[in-house]
Structure 1
Amino acid sequence: MSDATYQSSPGCSIEPSPKSSRFPEARHKQHVMLTGTHSNLDWELIIIDDASPDGTQEIAKQLIKAYSPERIKLQPRAGKLGLGTAYVHGLQYVTGNFVIIMDADFSHHPKFIPQMIKKQSENGADYDIVTGTRYAGDGGVYGWDLKRKFVSRGANLFADTLLRPGVSDLTGSFRLYKKAVLQEVIRKTESKGYSFQMEMMVRAKAMGFKVAEVPISFVDRLYGDSKIGSNEITAYAKSVISLWVKV
């Protein structure tokens, strides 16, 4: 897995994990994503790769050649050190005012980025966070079997019942943050695994930040496997209860 950070006036965080076996197609899709979605933005892409074997660094180097080192910056790490620490690492290199975090195995489509940017300042609202939701409006999930959908829905319902976070999708990771807000929320967040995204939103609410939602379509990853087992479910449940006690 790797993480990356786009900066513009919106800065964006992305986690690309295309498989090397489909390297040419993955590289093409990254090119389309950058040129098609961000042509009117002042942006940078900071890639944090945790020594993944999936061809991420090769794709990053091709993007550097195509867009220049000023636009695309590769900041690899020695190994898998956790999602939270990857965000902290990437934030060191962000120069913009906003950060967008998303999966870049094309589970999250970049077409929603302009909607998030528009929503952030809609009607002068000046939201601190705009989060993508699979469970409101026109949002949805594609490519999951019934069990996976049930687990995800159940996880969100369980957390919503206990924590009352004020958002419909706690476990998603497609979000826009003000950079300063992201830094502050991360400092307060203790989780490192699957519950990291959930705790970020719960902490943000407790800290009084303004949050808006944009419906998104989530398509199960095109490159590699996306698995969740009983250990992850148990850890998530424990994290929800722990947050309920602490926050």
Structure 2
Amino acid sequence: MKIAWKHEWQAFWLCMGFISRIPMLARIDYSQQLMNHSSMYFPLAGLVLGALYALVYQALMALFPLVVAVIGVVIVHLWLTGAFHEDGLADAVDALGGGFTVDKRLSIMKDSRIGTYGTVALVGALALKVALLVELAPLPVWAVLLFTPALARMTPLFLMAVMPYVTESDTSKTKPVANTFPMPRLAVATVFSVLLTGAGVCWLPELMMAFVVSTTLVGVLWGWQLHRALGGYTGDALGASIVLTELSLLALLVAL
């Protein structure tokens, strides 16, 4: 039992270190299995990030207007995560927009340079995120910032469960996370997200509907696009799915 708890404790902190700049407060006995198991903690790690965003938002709102506070939170998010998922969005859109074969698309994703498609997608995503958060101001924005980063991180878990990983490079940081993703751990992450959503409806009554619809829509539509264009998913595609799910979630909360 002690060994199991130690494994899970290390898996959680490995997940935090993978998706953010937050220092890992645990000694990690790294292995591919541990890296693979750490993906179960994507939603919990997102909740930790969301708590930080909510605190920053509340502090900024005490000093600045709404728009300034929202932009400040987005900047903190980009710094705290190293723009990890936004980089995935830019690379994925560049590849799908500029490549005409699977090999060419995968080659574009590996290129560190950003192209026109990726630039447009990145600027559009950040601008839309700010606009949606400002529009949500009648609701408690701190609650939106708390819950959405956690819920948006369920989509990549679903994609990993039903699609093959198509990047063969041994240097890929996502490969150990994606290979043979255990279904029981997907179930645990799903239950956690559902319970979290249930808690969130106290402040955001439409959160459950928005979560189910956004995760399903992005999972199906983005998954279909990846299947058609790549025959599977890559690490960049998973990062893009988080950004797309979060934007869809915010848009549905505004609409509802």
Same fold by TM-score greater than 0.5: no
Higher strand fraction (1 or 2):
1
Q: TM-score, normalised by structure 2?
A: 0.27
Give the structure with the higher percent helix: 2
TM-score (norm 1): 0.28
Higher relative CO (Cα under 8 Å, sequence separation at least 6) belongs to 2
